[in-house]
Structures are given as C-alpha cells and as structure tokens.
Amino acid sequence: MNTVLEVENARVRFRSMSSVQAWIKRESDPWIDAVRDVSLSIKEGETFTLVGESGSGKSTLAMAVAGLLPASEGSIRFRGQEVTTMNGAGMMAYRKQISFMWQNPVGSLSPRQNVGALVTEPYIVHGLTERNLREESARLLKMVGLPEHFSARYPHQLSGGQARRVGVARALALSPRMIIADEPTAGLDVSVQGEILNLLNRLQDELGISMFVITHNLNIVRHISDRTAIMYLGRFVEQGPTDDIFSHPRHPYTLALLSANPEPDPDANIERIELKGEVPSLMDRPSGCEFHTRCPFAAENCAHDFPPIHVVNENHALTCHYPR
Amino acid sequence: MNENVLTIRDLSVHYGTSRGELKALRHVNLDVPKGAIVGVVGESGCGKSTLISSIIRLLAENASIPNGTIEFRNTDLLKLPEEDMRAIRGNQMSVVFQDPMSTLNPVLSIGRQMTDIQYRDKKSRSEKNRRSIEMLTSVGIPDPASRLKQFPHEFSGGMQQRISIAMALQAEPSFLIADEPTTALDATLEVQIIHLLKELQANIGCSILFVSHHLGVIAELCDYVVLMYAGEVVEQGTVAGVFHNPAHPYTEHLLKCDPASISTKSRTLPTIPGEIPDLVTLPSGCIFKNRCEYVMTRCDTEVPEWSERSVGHFASCHRSLS
C-alpha cells in the first residue's frame, strides 16, 4: 500500500511573549513547543488515531498537517508533496484532497445556511460551479444516510448526530484522499456514537480514504483504528498497531490511560495505575523524561536523562527507560 | 437507614412552545436514599437537565408543573416560597455543573469567589479565607493559600472542576447534584474526580445525584441507577441489579451499545435503530415501542405500569412482567 501522509520530526511552536518582553525578561527562548519531534506515516485506506489528554497538542498537530498552522521544523509530505513549503495555489489543490471534520458538530456549521448550502459550499469555494449543486447535495446526503428533504433544514433543527452526519457529508464533498476528524464522537450519546463510527467505517471501506482521527475516548479507538499514537506534552510516547497497544501497552503513560477507562460493569476489578499530580506546563517542561513527574515507575535517572527510543518491532516504538 | 433525602413522586414538567405543550417529564418517580450515590443515565433530550432544574427550582419561564411532588427532607420543594428555596440552594443542596470554565467567573479570583459564596456565615474575612483553604486542600489542590489569588484560567480543566466541587461542598450540603461533571475531562482526570467525589461523600455523608451518559462511570461510582428515556424513568434499581439484569429493553440496548463493553475488535458497532418520539404529540402506549425489538400488540395501546421486579428494582415494561 502506498503511503499517503508522512510526517518527519515536525515541530509546531507558538510565541509565549513578544520580542520586547523577552528582551526585558532576558528570555532567550520566547517560544513554547506545542508539538515536538513528531513522526508518523499513514497508508492508503488506513485509520490512524491520536490519543492524549487535552492540551497535549493533538489538534495542533492535525492543523499543521492540514496546513492551517506552520510547522517550524521537520517535513510534512502528502503523496510525495511537501506541505510546509506550499504556495497559495498549491495549498488550494492540497486542500481538495484532505478535509477536516471539526470537533463541535453543530458549532462547525454556519447557523445562517441550510444543510443543502452547507454541504455544497466546498464546490463554491473551489470554483466547481459547473456542477448541479442540488443533485450533489442529494447525493451527499444519501451517502451519509440523511433523507433528501433535510437539505432545507438549518443547523439548529438538527440533533447532534444529524449535525455530525452533515459534517461528514461536507468533508466528503470533494472526494478527498484523507479525512482529519477531530473528536468525531465528542458530545454524542452512546447509541448515536455507534451510528457515526459505523458510517465512517463503511465510507472508508467503500471509498478507500485514509483517516486521521483525534480522540480521547479510548473505547472507540479499538474498534476503528489500525495504528495508534499516544501523545504527551506534544511528543509521541508510544506508537504502534492498535491491537498491540491495547493487548500489551508498554509505556507507563499508555498503561495508565488504558487502566483509567471505567468499565460498564459494577463488579469489574480494575487494577488502576494512578497518576500523581497534574500535567506539567509546556512553558516549563520537566528535565529528563518528561513523564517522570507523574510516572509511578520513575527511577532516579528518569529525572536527568532523556529516554531512548525502545523499538519493539518495526511498527511499534516507544520512548521510555523502563518499558513494561 | 432507609430514609430518603429526596423523594420525587409522579412529577411532570411541560414546556409551552409554539407547537403546543412539550411534555419533557412525565410521571417521574425517584428516590435518593440518605448517604447514597444515585446515577441518572439517559441520552440527550431525555429530560435529565429538566429534572435537575425542577429539583433546584430553576426551570425556564415557559415551564409548568401540572402534577407531582418533590420532597426534600420532608418538605415539598414545589410548595415552598421563593425565599425559603433560596435558603436551601447552595446551603443544603448544591450543584456541580458540566463545564467548570463557565461555572467559575473568569474575572474574579478563586479566593474572592470562594469567600463570596460564604455570604450566609457571619465570620470574619480571615476565617472565611481559612475555610476556603481547607476546602481546596480537601480536593487536593497543592499550595492552596497562594492559589487563592489566582484566576480560573490559571488552572487546568481538572483543577477547575475540583474547585467547583470544593465550592459546592463548602456549606456541607446534605444533597449534591453533579451534572455530568466529568464529560469535559480526560480519562485519567475522570478517574481522579470520581475517586474524589466518593471520598468527599464518605467524609461529609451527603447524598449525590450523579447525572451522566457514561455507563462506565456510573458502574464505578454509584450505588443506585435510574434510567431515563424520552422524559420517563423506565428503570430504577441497584447498580449491580440493573447492569447484570436489565429489565427494560432500552437499558439492555444501551448496555450493549457501549463500545467499552465490546472487547473484541469490531468494525460495526451495535446501535439503537429509530428516533426518539416527538414529545409534543406523544404516541399512545409504551414510549419505547417504535425502537423495541420485543414489541407486542398491547405495547401499542397500554402504557406499561411502573412495577417492582425484584426487591428495589423497578421498571416499566409489559414484557418482563409475564
């Protein structure tokens, strides 16, 4: 299978203070790294999931991949083309091939446009006005399992699940090669969540698109994803095939995340690995292993030495001194 | 022991809309025993929020309550004058809301907000400050004295939620309502908050009504669970009883749908087909009939009775009776 997206040592940073402030405070590095030294690759028709707590840099990475934020270092290649150095026209062509599903299903739809206009807006943005928009909207709504008369509705008349379907239809409009879905099931009920995931799985099987899914819901990751990466403070701490990670997590943070998942069984006897304290601030990254402040297995050298990359096999790697 | 802090009987709440009366809650029965944690589960639009608003009497203006009683420590809240209700709110009964960022005032320091809500106590400022520090320590905020000067945005989401819990418990209420307090948080923080609530509940001895749509959290935290569907309570019982032996088809479906309970990898997840009925024009008979796989002829005409299946386990369904 061909690789669709390849990210190598990407770094995304934000200014934490102005240059004048930095000069006054004698701060030599007025930047914070929201994403640091991240590498990943997504193959055609594959689902890649990114898991991590809020503030770990998941959405920042996705936006850098979509070209909405500049990567300060590293390379992001989509089907062989470098995204970080694209000009305006190149970016326009690139964005036809990827589409973004935003986190808030209702909030990402304009309240003043009806569903028909919303799902066909991508054609207008990309100047494909020769198409029959009415037919296209009917086709797209059918694909996501909404009746045709929904094209006259406005976002406030939709339930969360229906709004999510409209978001999927909009993302499919330009027949993209890859969809980036930021928390596709956040705020949805358990049963509706299943419907949306089934829809995404079905469309992926039919159209062969790749998916880049961001979530902190571990329960769904197992069912939709081929590869998973766990992110902590802007770095990948573990990356590998989803089945391997779930059956045998090796990084202490992965272990803690998986064991924190409450089971819908009152008698479940979960052996929890509790994390101490709070997530450290990006402005003040811990020395050595960045996880050592919360790690239940931390030893002395974790506080000083940056952990080596521990390779389990060619697909599965993690950064830890003492993998489980 | 078997004393109830809160007893709701036959409560209905309607909203006046341009299309007609929207029957948001219908004939709801609910018991919160003293010192127990009761979970309320249901999908969006099933009336969970309406239930909470009617308990604390903060319903929207277009709401009306045609029938029912809400008894809190042997007084009917619905008959109470507004002044007495204000004395109860925040003092004997308090709420932790879903989003901590919108619970806390962004332009006031945490210390100021925590002193402000102690307006009932005739204590000096330093005493109130001490009380705030004590509360922050009990919810595990490190270095609370200096944290009091900080503003909500300087805390992480998990800490903000712990501060709202500290504020809700400041007056040591006998009843706490937690409205999806962990949905805005990540898995590891969710567990922290659950443990915190359990610990505080044991210390203070209050009862908790815990609203959530996360079945795993309910299973872990609660003693009793109440299931709501389209404005009705369809099942109620102990957590072990309901999760192991669901009596209502909706409960059964919901438990099956939770991806957490499916341990083998599956590309097609189970769903509940169909839609929630329109609450303005209610269908006759059972409210769940159009989505139920066990539907019978009598479901179409007869409203199922709220009946006891085993000790303390109630459900409203025709099927499991026979």
CA closest to B268 among chain A residues: A198
CA gap A210, A45 in Å, rounded: 4
- Select from A49, A190, A217 the residue whose CB has the most chain B CBs within 10 Å, as the one to mutate to test that interface: A190
Q: Are A310 and A323 in contact (CB under 8 A)?
A: yes
CA neighbor of A50 nearest in space, from A58, A42, A41: A58
Q: Which residues of A touch B136 (CB under 8 A)?
A: none
Q: DSSP character for B89?
A: B
Task: Give pLDDT, residue B1.
Answer: 43
Task: Give pLDDT, residue B192.
Answer: 82
- Select from A106, A265, A279 the residue whose CB has the most chain B CBs within 10 Å, as the one to mutate to test that interface: A265
CA gap B23, A68 in Å, rounded: 46
Q: What is the ipTM of this complex?
A: 0.75
Question: Mean pLDDT for each consecutive 10-residue tract of chain B (322 residues)?
Answer: 83 91 92 93 86 92 93 92 92 89 91 92 91 90 89 86 91 91 77 87 91 87 93 93 92 86 79 85 89 89 89 87 52
- Select from A51, A191, A201, A272 the residue whose CB has the most chain B CBs within 10 Å, as the one to mutate to test that interface: A191
The stretches in chain A having pLDDT less than 70 are: 1
Q: Which residue has the tokens 């081929």?
A: A226
For chain B, what is the largest distance between any 2 Cα atoms, rounded to a whole number of angstroms? Answer: 68
CA closest to A280 among chain B residues: B156
Q: DSSP character for B277?
A: P
Separation in Å, CA of A11 to nearest CA in chain B: 24
Among chain A, residues having any CB pair with chain B shorter than 8 Å are 53-55, 159-160, 187, 189-195, 197-198, 201, 205, 216, 218-220, 222-224, 243, 256-257, 260-268, 272, 274-275, 277-279
Virtual torsion, Cα B274, B280, B281, B284, nearest 10 deg: 70
CA gap A199, A202 in Å, rounded: 5
Q: Encode pLDDT of A177-195 as tens digits.
A: 999 998 888 778 787 888 8
Helix ranges (H only) for chain A are 19-24, 58-65, 88-97, 115-125, 133-143, 160-172, 190-207, 218-224, 242-247, 252-259
Separation in Å, CA of A129 to nearest CA in chain B: 36
| Contact at CB, B265 and A222, closer than 8 angstroms | yes
- Select from B19, B143, B271 the residue whose CB has the most chain A CBs within 10 Å, as the one to mutate to test that interface: B271
CA closest to B216 among chain A residues: A264
Q: Which residues contact B182 (CB under 8 A, 6 or more apart)?
A: B161, B189, B190, B193, B194, B212, B214, B217
| Contact at CB, B219 and A268, closer than 8 angstroms | yes
Q: Are A43 and A104 in contact (CB under 8 A)?
A: no
Task: Give pLDDT, residue A17.
Answer: 83
| Contact at CB, A264 and B266, closer than 8 angstroms | no
Separation in Å, CA of B80 to nearest CA in chain A: 36
H or E, element range at B232: strand B232-238
| Contact at CB, B216 and A192, closer than 8 angstroms | no
Kindly report the CA angle at B101 between B62 and A217, in degrees rounded to 5? 100
Q: Would the CA dihedral through A175, A181, A187, A193 be positive or negative?
A: positive
Q: Which residues of B touch A160 (CB under 8 A)?
A: 44
CA gap B25, B8 in Å, rounded: 12
Return the bridge partners of B41, or none. Answer: B212, B227
Q: Are A278 and B156 in contact (CB under 8 A)?
A: yes
Q: Which residues contact A315 (CB under 8 A, 6 or more apart)?
A: A227, A240, A241, A244
Q: Which residues of B touch A261 (CB under 8 A)?
A: 187, 216, 260
Write down the pTM of the prediction.
0.83
Q: Encode pLDDT of A31-78 as tens digits.
A: 888 999 999 999 999 999 999 887 788 889 999 999 999 999 999 999
**Of A194, A266, A277, Cβ closest to residue B257:** A194
- β-strand A227-232 against B93-96: which pairing, if any? unpaired
CA neighbor of A84 nearest in space, from A71, A93, A95, A68: A71
Reported as half-sphere exposure (CB side, CA atoms, 13 A), residue A302 has a value of 18
